[in-house]
Chains A and B, each alone.
Chain A
Amino acid sequence: MNTAPPGLNDVLQRTFSFPKRHFLSASDLNEVEVANLLDLADGFVSLNRQTSKKLDLLKGRTLMNLFFENSTRTQSSFELAGKRLGADVVNMSPRSSSISKGETLIDTAVTLNAMQPDLLVVRHSSSGAASLLSQKVSCSVINAGDGQHEHPTQALLDALSMRRAFGRIAGLKVAICGDVAHSRVARSNIALLQMLGAEVRLVGPPTLIPPQAERWNVAIFHDMREGIAGCDVVMMLRLQLERMDGVMAPSQREYFRFFGLDREKLACAAPHARVMHPGPMNRGVEIDSDVADDLSVSLIQDQVEMGVAARMAVLTSLAARLENAR
């Protein structure tokens, strides 16, 4: 234990055996599990800020990143998380390999499974893809985003950022703004934040709010100023530019005028309000640089840092449960 970096004991004390084999959806979690994961992640944040960041909690384990959709930041976040925990990390981009040769998702899964990975991180453009994969492999599957369904580690890192900024999540008013309809980030956040006792609102034009979302126990606003009024957190979502040219919204300039977050609209939120964005941002479209870059209101950089810690917490907890764990 002499060689252990400071804080490791602290972290190890927080490790708990996660009761599920996979990490697929925020709605699968319960309040206790989330609290444990957040506590654990908090410990990793301190560790990650030290010079020596390397741990051996996942020593001997193999982490496979399987990204059917390109994502620099999520993939490197998982890669770093795995490496800092001492796992061997392999990055697969099936886009440029077998899948493009006609192999089905399940064939790929079975092939990769034969290589005996312990943890499989999956991103796919189809909703439900991670769940389908998890039924065909013997390792743990972590959903790193499936279509327009869920992105549970993003919700976890968002919750961690909020908890650190406000000291709590229960009772916070959170406005999720923009392209909710196509957002897996929004769906995971709605589930997790509501579980933790936050009040969630959705803000966007009707074309970007999922049909019948009012049944999710969220208030829906089509006027951004009304929607973010009094909110503690304004969570902006990315809107793909091609959806903006007269498809879901008339134009970039109209979108920014009515649904882009600038100082003037932000003034409607609570005085201490913080701004979040899962990235990558379209500056001047959904968010004004002036707001995004103001560290006194923006949590956007924190979110990236919390991402590594939150993913380390998920990987550690899943690994602790694996059959051959100890």
Chain B
Amino acid sequence: MRFSLRACAVAIALMLGGCMAQLAPAYDQTIDTGLASTNTSMQTLFVQIGTGSDAATYASQGREAAYVQVIGALKALEVQAQARPLPPADLLTTVNDLLAQQGKPQLTADPNFSDYPSVRAMHDAEVTLIAMQTEDARAGLHGMAVNAFENQATTYLSQAITYENFLNR
């Protein structure tokens, strides 16, 4: 393992032409902060729902406004995250070729990096909240469905938050 890492490190350094590189989008503090704020709003909505909700109170108890606010914030953050320039595709292809030569797994199946991981996760969270909103308005939220909606939305948002925070390097 020690020899392999050393050989890999020397090979990569010599073959990359000695230039600094960027393989991921630039960090954007407003996206990071925006996600944290949206998460707070979403968790506040979940606390309001508690163990269940009644469709009859969907609008009167402010849940409709809360859904609109969180979903709108996620849509805006998606647009912002996708507006950043993509890293050069040829760099990622070079890295994947080097990893393949060392018998290591590829970084991503999409060498054009057309999927920002955080944008996908934000979109998934948005879809989840829209489905939750629809059901809340239609029939209220009950039983384990509450846990399922909340856990799903939280898991997606956690992916987005982790990725965007990790870009601060």
| Same assembly | no
